[in-house]
Amino acid sequence: MAELEVSINTSDIAPAIEAIRQEVERIKDQSLTRFAQAFQLWEEAFRADPEKFMTVEETASAEVSQLSADCAAYFVALLAQVDKAEVAV
C-alpha cells in the first residue's frame, strides 16, 4: 500500500484558525449572556411571586432527577423568553 505524504503550511491556515477561535469566543459570550438573562428572569419571577416556586421542604423531598428535569425545562422556557425580547443584565 502506498503512503500518502501531506505537507501543510501552517501560515496558510493560521487566519482560518484565528477566525474560528474568535467565533467560538463570540458564541460563548452570547451563551453566557443568554444564561444570565434567563437567570435574571427566574429571579424576577421568584421575587414577584415566590408561591409559584417550591418551598425548601418541597425541594428537599422531591426526586432529584424529576426536579432537575423540571428545572431544565423551566430554564429552556426562560431562554425562549430571552430570545423573544431583550432582557438587560
Query: pLDDT tier at 24 (50, 70, 90 boundaries)?
Result: confident
In a domain, 27, yes or no: no
Q: Please indicate whether residue 20 or residue 49 has the higher confidence score (pLDDT).
A: 49
**Cβ contacts of residue 87 below 8 Å, gap of 6+?**
37, 38, 40, 41, 81
3-state secondary structure of 34: helix
Could you tell me the residue range of the domain that residue 85 belongs to? 62-89
In a domain, 46, yes or no: no
Kindly state whether residue 73 falls inside one of the protein's structural domains. Answer: yes
- Say if CB 64 and CB 57 are below 8 A apart: no
Cα(82)–Cα(23) distance, rounded to whole angstroms? 21
Number of structural domains in the chain: 1
Handedness of CA 29, 31, 37, 42 (dihedral sign): negative
pTM: 0.62
Residue 84 lies in a domain: yes
Quick: pLDDT tens for 29-69.
Answer: 888 999 999 999 999 999 999 999 999 999 999 998 999 99
Per-residue model confidence (pLDDT) at position 20: 87
